[in-house]
Amino acid sequence: MSTAKKNTAAPKSNPLFGKTNYTWMLVGIVVMAIGFFLMAGGKSADPAVFNDDEIYSTTRITIAPLLIVAGFVIEIFAIMKKPKEAAV
């Protein structure tokens, strides 16, 4: 009979994402949400009146889309960033 001990220790868990990854993901989502919030709106009191200044404002045409793209870039960075190894 063999008296060798079997390794009964649970295998070491290696999470896919670390805490910093999730933090960056949250930052990306917040940046995208701000971009979508800035792009929304433009409701007029009179639906028959078209207000060029509200629809084609710099905030809606330039800043909001840039924020949304920046949010996607942050998300890609958060997914691709390699988590740091936990000290054992």
Q: What is the pLDDT of residues 4-54, one digit of tens each?
A: 666 666 667 778 888 999 999 999 999 999 999 999 877 777 878 888 888
The residue assigned the tokens 């009179």 is: 46
Report the C-alpha gap between 35 and 59 in whole angstroms: 9
pLDDT at 23: 95
88 neighbors 27 (Cβ within 8 angstroms) = no
Instruction: Give the helix ranges, DSSP H, for 40-83.
Output: 52-55, 58, 64-80
Number of Cβ atoms within 10 Å of the Cβ of 46: 7
Question: In the predicted model, what is the mean pLDDT of residues 55-72?
Answer: 93
pLDDT at 46: 80
Q: Is the pTM of this model over 0.85?
A: no
